Structure 1
Amino acid sequence: MFKLMGKNSDVILSRLKSWRLTDGNGTEGDNLTLTINADDIDGIPPKGEKYTVYLGQVKRDVFEISQRSIELLPREIKLVLTVSPFSINDVTGYRERKSFSWDNTTLSQVVSDCVTPHGFAFFVHPGLQKTVIQHVDRTEESTPAFLNRLAKQYDAVAKPVEDKYIFVPIGQQTSATGADIESITLSLPQGNTTENTHFIRLSADLDGRSEFNGVRAFYVSTEDGTRQEIKTGSKPFKLLGKDKNSKVEAEQACATELRKIQRTGRKISINAPVNTAAFAEGLVILDASFPLAFQGKCSIDSVTISGAGLQPTRMSISATLTGE
C-alpha cells in the first residue's frame, strides 16, 4: 500500500487518483507524481512541503513538492515532488554553480568537501574511499552536477537519500544508506499472458556486451617525459583515448573501465507486478523459469512504480545484465 507521512497527508491520500514513483541512478531522475481529485476543494499544498513515502513497510525516501498544476475538467491537482534536499530557497547553495580544485587528495575527501556544507552525512563505498585523486577541477558546476560527473568517471552512482549523500559503484549490493540491499528475484508466472494479472514483459538488447577483455591507457612520466603504457586485463584491449596525468591515475582509469566492461551486459527492460524492495542501486535476479537468453543477475538502472488510489499496480525496471 502507498503511504505518505506529512502535513495534510490524510487529505491527499483520501483523494489520490493515481501516482508514479521513479527511482534512478543519480539525483535528477528521482521524483514522485501525484494526481489528486479536487472536485470540492480549493486548497493546494505549498512548494517545499515534505513527505516521507512508503510502499508497504518499505521506506522509499523523503520528497518535497517542486511543481504544481491544476485542471478544471476533470478537476484535479497534479503535484510533482523531487527527492530532498530540493529547496526553493536553496539557502546552502546546493545548486549554485561553483568552481574549486583539489590536488593530492582522496575521493572520500572530495565528496566530503562538496556535501558537508549542505548538511549531509556521506557514505563512500569502502572500495572507493581511498581512491587517490591527484587533480580534479569543479568548474562552474552545481554540487549534484559535479558529483554525478565524478561518479561516471568511477562507474558509480552519487545521490542524496534523506540526510546522507552516497557514492557507491553501480551494481554493488549496497543501499543508499550504506546497508546491504537484498536482491529481488523474479519468476515467470504460469500462463504468462496479459490476461494473467501477474504477467511479466521482458525485452533485451542482443548486442550489449563489449568484446574487450582488457583496458590500456597512457600517461606521461614526470621523471623523463616519456609516454608510458598501463594495461589491465587481457587481450583484446580497449584503449582509453585521453592520456592520464600520472601512473596512479592511469591505473585507476583502467581498473574502473575494466570493471564497467565486466559489469555491463545486455540492456533489459522489465514490466512486472510491484516488488516494493526494488531500488535503482540494487540487483534483480531473473531465475531459471525465464528463457536462457534472459536469465541472470541484473544491475538496476532505474525503477518506476505506478499505482491507482493507494494500491501499487505495476513496476517498470531498466537494468543491465551483468553476465553473472
Structure 2
Amino acid sequence: MFKLIGKNSELIISRLKSWRLTDGNGTEGDNLTLTINSDDIDGIPPKGEKYTVYLGEVKRDVFEISQRSIELHPREIKLVLTVAPFSIKDATGYRVRSSTSWDNATLSQIVSDCVVPHGFAYFVHPELQKIEISHLDRIDESTPAFLNRLAKQYDAVAKPVEGKYIFVPIGKQKSATGADIEAITLSLPRDNSTENMNFISLSADLDGRSEFNGVRAFYVSTADGSRLEVKSGSKPFKLLGKDKNNKTEAEQACAAELRKIQRMGRQVTINAPVNPAAFAEGIVILDESFPRAFQGKCSIDSVTLNGSGLQPTRMNIQATLIGE
C-alpha cells in the first residue's frame, strides 16, 4: 500500500491515479512522480512541499516537490518530487559550482567538508573512511557532481538518503544509517505466464564480465623521479591510464578497480511484482526456482516501482549478477 504523509496528503491520496518511484545509485537518480485527478479542484501544491513516502511499512524516503505540470483533458496534475533536504532555492549553495583542494586528507574528511555545510549528516563505509588522499582538486564542480565523480573512483555510491549523505561501496548492504539493508529474494512462480499477476520476466547479458583478473598503475617516486608500478590481482592486467601521486594512492586505485572488476558480472534486468524492500543499495537473490543460468546474487543498481492508485503493481530492477 502506497502511503504519503505531508500537507494535504489525504486529498492527494484520494485522487491519486498512478505513481512511479525511482531509486538509483547516484545523486540525481531518486524521484517520485504522482499523477493526480484534478476534476473540480483548482489548488496545486507548492514547490518545495515535503512528503514522507512509505510502501507498506517500509519507509522509502522524504521527497519534496520540484516540478509541477497540469493537463486539461483529462484534468490532472503531475508532480515530480526529488530527494532534497535543502530548500528549493538552494540557500546553502549545494548545487553551486566551486573549487577547492585537499592535501593528505582522509576520504571521510573530504566527504564531511563537502556535505556538512549543507546540513547533511553523513555515513562513510568503514572500508573507505580512512583512505588517505595525498592531493585532490575540486575544480568548478557542484557538491553532488564532485562526490559522484569521487565515488566512481572507489566503485562506490554517493547520494543523500533521509537527510544523510551516504558514501558506500556498491553492493554493500548498508542503509543511510549504516545498518544492513535486507536482501530480497525472488522466486519464479510455478505458472510464470503473463496472465499471472506474479509473472516475472528476466534478461541477462552473458558477456558482461571484464576479461581482466588484475589491475596495474604507475606513480612517480618523490625520491628520484622514477616511474614505478604497482599491481593487484593476477594476469591479464588492466592498466589505469593516469599516473597516481604516490604508491599508496596507486595501491588504493588498483584495489578499487579490481573490486569493481570482480563485482561486475552479467547485467540483469528484472520485471516483477513490487517488493517494498527493494533499494538501489541492496541485494536481490534469484533462488533455485530460476534456471541455473539466472540464479545468483545481484547488486541492485537501480529500481523503479510503479503503482495504480494506492496499489503497487510492478517493479523494474537493473542489477549486476555478482555471484551464486
TM-score range, shorter chain: over 0.9
- Show the counterpart of 1:155: 155
Measured after TM superposition, the shift of residue 163 of structure 1 is 1.9
Contact kept, 8 Å, 1:230 with 1:250, in 2: the verdict is yes
Task: Report what 1:261 is aligned to.
Answer: 261
Name 1:223's counterpart in structure 2.
223
CA contact (8 A) 1:37 1:77 kept: yes
Matched, 1:192 2:192: yes
Tell me the residue number matched to 1:233.
Answer: 233
Q: Which secondary structure state, in structure 2, belongs to the residue aligned with residue 293 of structure 1?
A: helix
- Map Cα deviations across residues 85-139 of structure 1 (whole Å, 9 max, x no partner): 2532111111111100001010000000000001111100000000011111111
Residue 82 of structure 2 corresponds to 82
User: 5+ residue gaps in structure 2?
Assistant: none
**Within the alignment, does 1:273 sit opposite 2:285 as a pair?**
no
Which amino acid counterpart does residue 243 of structure 2 have in structure 1?
D
Within 1, Cα distance between the matches of 2:162 and 2:197? 34
Equivalent pair of 2:304/2:315 in contact (CA under 8 Å): yes
Partner residue, 2:212: 212
Residue by residue, what CA displacement relative to the aligned partner does 1:32-86 show, whole Å, maximum 9, x if unpaired? 0000000110000000000000000000000000000000000000000001225
C-alpha distance in structure 2 between counterparts of 1:87 and 1:270, whole Å: 35
Taking the aligned partners of 2:176 and 2:163, their CA distance within structure 1 comes to 11
User: Size of the alignment, in residue pairs?
Assistant: 324
Q: Does 1:13 align with 2:13?
A: yes
- Supply the AA of the counterpart residue of 1:300: I
Matched, 1:322 2:319: no
Q: Is the 8 A contact 1:156 1:168 kept in 2?
A: yes
Counterpart of 1:104 in 2: which secondary structure? strand
One-letter amino acid of the counterpart of residue 31, structure 2: N
In structure 1, the residue matched to 2:300 is 300
Partner of 2:44: 44
| CA–CA separation in structure 2 for the residues paired with 1:179 and 1:44 | 37
After superposing the two structures, state which structure 1 stretch, 85-94 or 102-111, moved more: 85-94
Q: CA deviation at 1:176?
A: 2.3
Unaligned runs of 5+ in 1: none
1 CA distance for matches of 2:30 and 2:2? 17
How far apart are the structure 2 equivalents of 1:140 and 1:61? 30
Normalising to structure 1: TM-score of the pair?
0.99
Q: Secondary structure at the match of 1:174?
A: coil
In 2, the alpha carbon distance for the partners of 1:243 and 1:115 equals 28
| Kept after mapping to 2: 8 A contact 1:64/1:86 | no
SS in 2 for 1:229: strand
Task: Measure the CA separation in 1 of the matches of 2:314 and 2:168.
Answer: 28
Shift of 1:29: 0.9
Matches of 1:253 and 1:266 in 2, distance apart?
Answer: 23
Q: Is the 8 A contact 1:300 1:319 kept in 2?
A: yes
Which aligned segments of 4 or more residues in structure 1 are displaced greater than 4 angstroms? none
Which residue number corresponds to residue 144 of structure 2? 144
Structure 2 SS opposite 1:265 = coil
State whether residues 162 and 176 of structure 2, in contact with CA within 8 Å, keep that contact through their aligned partners in structure 1. no
Within 1, Cα distance between the matches of 2:141 and 2:243? 24
Which amino acid letter does the alignment assign opposite residue 314 of structure 2?
Answer: R
* CA apart distance, 1:222: 0.6
Question: 2:113 is matched by which residue type in structure 1?
Answer: D
Deviation (angstroms), 1:241: 1.3
Q: Secondary structure at the match of 1:255?
A: helix
CA–CA separation in structure 2 for the residues paired with 1:23 and 1:311? 18
Instruction: Report the TM-score, using the length of structure 2 for normalisation.
Output: 0.99
Please say if residues 299 and 321 of structure 1, whose CA atoms lie closer than 8 Å, have aligned partners that are also in contact.
yes
Matched, 1:58 2:66: no
In 2, distance between residues paired with 1:133 and 1:249?
Answer: 7
Q: Give, in whole Å, the separation in 2 of the partners of 1:177 and 1:68.
A: 31
- Which of 237-246 and 60-69 deviates more? 237-246
User: 1:203: which partner in 2?
Assistant: 203
Q: Distance in 2 between matches of 1:8 and 1:116?
A: 31
**Distance in 1 of aligned mates of 2:263 and 2:273:** 26
2:104 counterpart residue number: 104
SS in 1 for 2:293: coil
- Secondary structure of the 2:294 match is coil
**Distance of 1:237 and 1:223 partners within structure 2:** 27
Q: Please provide the CA RMSD for this pair.
A: 0.7
